[in-house]
Amino acid sequence: MLVPVVVATTVMAVVGASVYMLDYSLAPDPNRRDVDSCYQQLLAEYPECGEWMDSLRGINALRDTFVVMATGERHHALYIDKVGAKQLWISKGAEHAQAYQAHKEEYIRQLRQFSLVSCAQRQEVRVGEGVERPAPIEGEIVLEKKTYTVSYNQETRCPNWVAWKLTAEHTDGPYKRVNFYEEDDVPEPRATLRDYKGSGWSRGHMCPAGDNKWDSEAMAESFSLVNVCPQNARLNSGVWNSIEMDCRKWARKYGEVYVVCGPVYLNKAHEAIGPNEVVVPEAFFKVVLCLKGKPKAIGVVVKNTEGAKKKDLYYNTLDQVERITGYDFFPSLPDDIEKKVEARANIREWR
């Protein structure tokens, strides 16, 4: 018999090879909680177990895991095996604590045996500051801003790359867009507002203003011309903008992501604009890394055209983007994790 899904104050989940107790209390009356709102709050609190939590809502699809759910005086234990769901026991009142303690060790032992549920294959990767930065490039000028790090190229008058950590807290805020400005911390000749005027190219943010609404200084620094490349105006407001919004959505979903983006120069000869000859890229790249739960990464390369068609947007592995750009992304990751995330790209894993 399948035990009805109940709202959980305690959910035991398998992550990697460890057992995690996820404690949550949502209402004084455990028998009158709203199931959907409970799951939404659980997902918000523990985004790394999002797939696993979601699977509880369609419990018939669960296989090879053990779930303990408790609500107040009621305690349900389910063992989901390869042929379906079986009710082990239900106890009430004083029996609850006694029965739980009597079976606790056996439950934990069984939990550790199973590793096929989505959360079970995930692993937390702890990294230090600056994991978003690619490996150094010869001749680059590296500037540290409040939100982002930029590798600046004196020859193109554009960034090689811009890298930042985007957290859920940084995806919105009260601060508005400001004016673009020339960056005094790089040598002349450098990009100026005059270079873009009348050029037919828009000033395309690499680290977007939308990622910097949380702080006035961060917003202002996002308008430095070292964070800008000549970009097709329709691309800027279209596909490129939608990619930026996806990154903010992922940051809210997973709590944080690491982003690197920049121009791609494919031709031997390039268009240049203005008296300072700011070089126009033929394309742009963006790579995104998530280390919450099972590590994953995705790469995007988009042509610097109107960008309105699917053929202009390509999802890539990080290995592919590295071959196109020549950059080494996320070099501070443990080697085994770096190899795995760089070799695989599946946009469905992010949706």
pLDDT given at position 306 = 82
- Tell me: the pLDDT tens digits for 174-191? 999 999 999 999 999 999
Give the pLDDT confidence score for residue 16 in this predicted structure: 30
Domains observed in the chain: 10-121 (no CATH), 141-350 (3.40.570.10)
Task: Retrieve residue 12's tokens.
Answer: 């035991």
Contact 239, 256 (CB under 8 A): no
Which residue did the predictor score with more confidence, 302 or 74? Answer: 302
**pLDDT tens-digit readout, 209-234:** 999 999 999 999 999 999 999 999 99
The kind and range of the H/E element at 263 are strand 256-264
Nearest in space to 165 (alpha carbons), one of 241, 245, 260? 260
User: d(Cα 52, Cα 119) in Å, to the nearest integer?
Assistant: 5
Predicted pLDDT of residue 19: 28
**What confidence category does residue 314 fall into, taking pLDDT thresholds of 50, 70 and 90?**
confident
297: enclosing H helix or E strand = strand 296-303
pLDDT in tens, 53-88: 454 444 333 333 333 333 333 333 333 332 233 333
Structure tokens at 242: 């939608």
How confident is the model over 143-163, as a mean pLDDT? 97
| Alpha-carbon gap, residue 299 to 350, rounded angstroms | 12
> At CA 52, angle to CA 255 and CA 125, rounded to 5?
45
Q: Indicate the SS3 state at residue 47.
A: helix
Phi-psi region of 200 (alpha: psi -120 to 50; beta: other; left: phi over 0): left
Mean pLDDT, rounded, of the chain: 74
Query: Which of the 8 DSSP states describes residue 178?
Result: -
Distance CA 6, CA 39 (A): 10
pLDDT (0 to 100) of residue 294: 86
Taken in order 34, 37, 43, 49, is the CA torsion positive or negative?
positive
List CB contacts of 27: < 8 A, sequence separation 6 or more: 33
How do residues 266-276 score in pLDDT, each as one tens digit? 988 999 999 99
pLDDT score recorded for residue 8: 32
More confident residue, 48 or 318: 318
Q: Active-site residue among 75, 76, 170, 205?
A: 205
> How far apart are alpha carbons 299 and 99 in whole angstroms?
50
- Residue 21: helix, strand or coil by DSSP? strand
Q: Is 205 a catalytic residue?
A: yes
